[in-house]
Structure 1
Amino acid sequence: MELSLAHPAIKAFVCGSFSGTCSTLLFQPLDLVKTRLQTSQSGMQPGSSRVGMTSVLLGVVRTERLLGLWKGISPSFVRTIPGVGIYFSSYHSLKQHFFQDSRPGAAQAVMLGGGARTVAGVVMLPITVIKTRFECGRYSYVSVSGALRSVCRSEGPAALFSGLMATLLRDVPFSGIYVMFYSQAKASLPQEISSSPSAPVANFSCGVLAGVLASLVTQPADVVKTHVQVNPQLRTTEAVRYIYTAHGLEGFFRGAVPRCLRRTMMAAMAWTVYEQMMAHVGLKS
């Protein structure tokens, strides 16, 4: 079946998967650096040396070569291609069902973004767990399928859903806040810009602003989620206490710079590409 004849939800899925694939390929190194920063043992004790983004980046290149910055790209793709597709398909379906004839307000945008992320987050959590373990450098997994078998055999299938609460506490607010700021910023653009050839650039700028704000608000939950998925014996509350004891309040913002850069640029690019593709196939995003 040609894309032009496909169901709108399928079109949204294909557009979202393509946009997520492009952004993941470009910004995977930032995600790896963020994970290494959050799970590094340096800085655990008072007076110990801090590990910075640059030192982690150079360390990866020195020990694993340049391609080491894309370690974990396989599970990232396995998660992104269906995951972002599910997210945008869910978002489009929810929007068409509840707001087909009206523009969602700020509160409605939060619910749309949060609802779509909940669906995608739960479905793709096992791949997210494997991706996090690939990136942290503590596990010697060779492939995604091998990692899945290893986790199920040694820790049980439940380990594939470790960090579910922390993941939802991070991703649902991020998506809701992002969609709210993004939609409101776009609505404030002059009509001549929204309908001009420079619209993608304006949309991308709106996405960057929304991404920065949403990333900062949800950074603590991202740190907790990473610790729980790397150390599955930790519960969410135990991870919170551990991070606070080892690092203090600033520990909840470890890896904030690479995550903010990655999430902001990925979300901005994904939404810009998605909206352009949706317009190309004749659908409103």
Structure 2
Amino acid sequence: MKEVDLSISEHKRMTPLDVVKIRLQAQKNPFPKGKCFMYCNGLMDHICICENGNSKAWYKAPGHFNGTLDAFIKIIRMEGIRSLWSGLPPTLMMAVPATVIYFTCYDQLCAAFKVRMGDRSDLAPLFAGAIARVGSATVISPLELIRTKMQAEKQSYRELSDVIRSALHSEGWRSLWRGWGPTLLRDVPFSAMYWFNYEKGKVWLCEYYSCTDPTFSITFTAGAISGSIASIVTLPFDVVKTKRQVELGEMQTKNLSTQVSSSTYNVMKRIVAENGVSGLFAGFMPRLIKVAPACAIMISTYEFGKAFFRRYNQQKHGMTQLQPSA
């Protein structure tokens, strides 16, 4: 239960970073690659499209974010500080099942794989983390879709429910798992790399500091480093996931087919065409600032809790054995 309580409090503190990350990922570049726009006044936006890349033009893009700090300032100024906690209710609803399923499955699977894999038991955390994430990500995918829509656009629950009903009517229940593919492409490699690097890093740090059991600082450091590496590598899939989920309802409004450019590969191609390769790493800084400390705090507290209850059970078992039989 300690991991669940920590997960809830962590999500409350990190939600503003999540909102900023998703806004940066969901925004459209006012200068699509290869084109420039001339802006005249507030009544007419695009009065000229210059295909010639050498032409120069001024374009004003209200609400366009130029970075993490700029996004924070503009969101607070235009929507109020409470907007930084958009999507908090579904986030908190996700925290309990995601944490329970994820950590429980990982521990059980890792122990089973270590027994079966023998000499290759060092790979057990990699496979256990990947499989555990598939289960938790699948269960919470509809809640993550709702959270992403609320954080990407300032919507009321009524407006959001109308969008979801429309999507259910046109696409069926599968629409609630929109973005599930890129979510798995983001989360499964993330978990595999995270647990593998964490276990390796923990062992290396224990050997370096000549300690038999990992201390809180060792688990904290190993968790932060492994989380940072995994978050950077999987960021492009996080961007694709956000794009796919934000599009829910937009296709129907524009009378476009939901099957057009909907695969992960096609969405990636579209992002690169519009924003360049850097578009695949939108929201890099807020994601890194969120994930690194979150992974460090979560895993160090998790390891501390496991060690505490292990010692408690051992002491209790020892006291039971010492008690004389009646």
State the TM-score bracket (shorter-chain normalisation).
Answer: 0.7 to 0.9
Give the 3-state SS of the residue equivalent to 2:66 in structure 1.
coil
Which residue, 236, 239, 244 being the options, matches 1:220? 236
Task: Tell me, in whole angstroms, the C-alpha distance in 1 between the residues paired with 2:99 and 2:167.
Answer: 24
Q: Cα offset for 1:183? A: 0.7
Aligned equivalent of 2:298: 270
**1:211-250 mapped onto 2 (5 Å cutoff):** 211-232=227-248, 233=258, 234-250=262-278
Aligned equivalent of 2:42: none
| 8 A Cα contact 1:17 1:83, kept in partner | no
Q: Which runs of 5+ in 1 are unaligned?
A: 1-13
Q: Identify which range, 168-177 or 69-78, moves more after superposition.
A: 69-78
Aligned equivalent of 1:6: none
Q: Which has the higher contact order (CA 8 A, sep 6+)?
A: 1
Aligned equivalent of 1:126: 142
| 8 A Cα contact 2:4 2:99, kept in partner | yes
Task: Tell me, in whole angstroms, the C-alpha distance in 2 between the residues paired with 1:41 and 1:269.
Answer: 34
Instruction: Give percent identity, aligned residues only.
Output: 29
Q: Identify which range, 51-60 or 63-72, moves more after superposition.
A: 63-72
Aligned equivalent of 1:95: 110
Q: Identify which range, 251-260 or 57-66, moves more after superposition.
A: 57-66
Amino acid at match of 2:15: Q
Number of corresponding residues: 270
Task: Tell me, in whole angstroms, the C-alpha distance in 2 between the residues paired with 1:194 and 1:149.
Answer: 57
1:207 aligns with 2:223: yes
Aligned equivalent of 1:186: 202
Q: Is the radius of gyration larger for structure 1 or structure 2? A: 2
RMSD (Å), alpha carbons: 2.9
Q: Cα offset for 1:89? A: 0.8
CA distance change for structure 1 residues 89 and 133 in 2, over 3 Å: closer, same or farther? same
Q: Identify which range, 103-112 or 216-225, moves more after superposition.
A: 103-112
CA offsets 1:203-231 (integer angstroms, 9 cap, x no match): 11111111111111101111111111111
Task: Tell me, in whole angstroms, the C-alpha distance in 2 between the residues paired with 1:153 and 1:168.
Answer: 25
Amino acid at match of 2:78: T
Q: Cα offset for 1:155? A: 4.9
Q: What TM-score, normalized by structure 2, do the two folds share?
A: 0.74
Amino acid at match of 1:69: L
Q: Cα offset for 1:44? A: 4.9
- Greater helix fraction, Structure 1 or Structure 2: 1
Which residue, 166, 177, 189 being the options, matches 1:161? 177
**1:63-142 mapped onto 2 (5 Å cutoff):** 63-99=78-114, 105-137=121-153, 139-141=155-157
CA distance change for structure 1 residues 110 and 247 in 2, over 3 Å: closer, same or farther? same
Q: Cα offset for 1:63? A: 2.4
Q: What TM-score, normalized by structure 1, do the two folds share?
A: 0.84
| 8 A Cα contact 2:29 2:275, kept in partner | no
Give the 3-state SS of the residue equivalent to 1:282 in structure 2.
helix
